[in-house]
Structure 1
Amino acid sequence: MSLMWTDVLEIAIQLAESKPEVDPMSVNFVDLRKWVMELPEFADKPEHCGEKILEAIQAHWIEERD
């Protein structure tokens, strides 16, 4: 399965699993974007990402952690 930017929930789950030491509320969007692109299953183009997508990923990540 390939992850795309629109797979915000699955991306958040994978980030929560791969970065349990990170508080998603304190993550800046530069790091968040980088970490998403480093996920093994991620296969989308960097230019397809915008602030709204990063906000959605961060919100789901916060929910996953709680």
Structure 2
Amino acid sequence: MSLVVFEDFTIAAAAAVLKLTPGSAKTRMHRARQRMKTALTGTHYVPTPITVLEGERS
């Protein structure tokens, strides 16, 4: 994250430096941003449970 945020690397360039695929670098950036948002706001992400009604199971 620091390469992209502080050093102005593109995600693709940071991926090359870290020997990652661009997709995995993008995923890591997304997760880092989620963790930072949680740390700054003090909130927790709680996924909404999926309710399956009787007869709707696949």
TM-score (norm. length: structure 2): 0.37
TM-score (norm. length: structure 1): 0.34
More helix as a share of residues: 1
Larger Rg: 2
Of structures 1 and 2, the one scoring higher in RCO (CA 8 A, sep 6+) is 1
